Amino acid sequence: MAEPTGAYLIRVNGIERRLHTPGSRSLLSVLRDDLALTGAKYGCGKGHCGACTVLVDDQAVRSCTLPLALAHGRSVTTIEGLAPSGGLHPVQQAFLDAQAFQCGYCTPGFIMGVIALLKTTSNPTELEIREGLAGHLCRCGSYPRIIRAVQLAAARMRE
Ligand code: FES
Ligand code: FES
């Protein structure tokens, strides 16, 4: 039997979006398949890898496990919405400068996780960075350069 279709309203990257679709669908699916925002990636689909991380009301959220119905009325930021003027967010720039990626599949999720981390801890220690990003997986093993990128971004954002 087809799932009931609801009417949901979410604000995505500053734009209100009305969606008529089952509320049990994941936010990730809606972002990628309905709104063509493909920056957030599908990795494990179970909340374990962080590839799908977006901000919901400024909190880092695994969008693969968040049903659309629970995002109703909330504000969602994806990596596409970080720098609406066309430039790069300081965390994006730091990832580039530190060469903190290889294949790049995990990068959007890491960057969203770093932004959430730096909102709560502007000058994190290496341990705090490791703990704050626990659960973000990089299969290419770029962790040392990712930590360097976080330190670089934090220093620049404090200036
Ligand atoms: S795809 Fe969402 S946590 Fe892995
Ligand atoms: S850069 Fe390839 S998975 Fe992280």
**Which pLDDT band, with edges at 50, 70 and 90, does 71 fall under?**
very high
Domain containing 105: what range?
90-158
Specify if 29 maps to a domain.
Answer: yes
Count Cβ atoms below 10 Å from residue 5 Cβ, excluding itself.
12
**Which pLDDT band, with edges at 50, 70 and 90, does 83 fall under?**
confident
At 50, which CATH number? 3.10.20.30
- List of E strands, the chain: 6-12, 15-21, 53-56, 59-62, 75-77
**Which of 81, 113, 146 corresponds to the end of one domain?**
81
100-151 pLDDT, tens per residue? 999 999 999 999 999 999 999 999 999 999 999 999 999 999 999 999 999 9
Residue 1: C-alpha distances to residues 4, 34, 79, 137 (Å) = 9, 22, 35, 36
Report whether residue 135 contacts ligand 1, using a CB cutoff of 6 Å.
Answer: no
Given ligand 2 and candidates 49, 105, 133, 143, which is best to mutate, with the most ligand atoms within 8 Å of its CB? 105
Burial 85-108 (b: 16+ CB within 10 A, else e): eeeebbbbbbbeebebbeeebbbb
Same domain for 33 and 62: yes
**Which of 56, 81, 106 corresponds to the end of one domain?**
81
pTM over 0.85: yes
CB 31, CB 19: distance < 8 Å: no
Q: Which ligand is nearest to the CA of 41?
A: 1
Sheet holding 53-56, edge to edge: 15-21, 6-12, 75-77, 53-56, 59-62
**Which of 50, 81, 112 corresponds to the end of one domain?**
81
Same domain for 77 and 10: yes
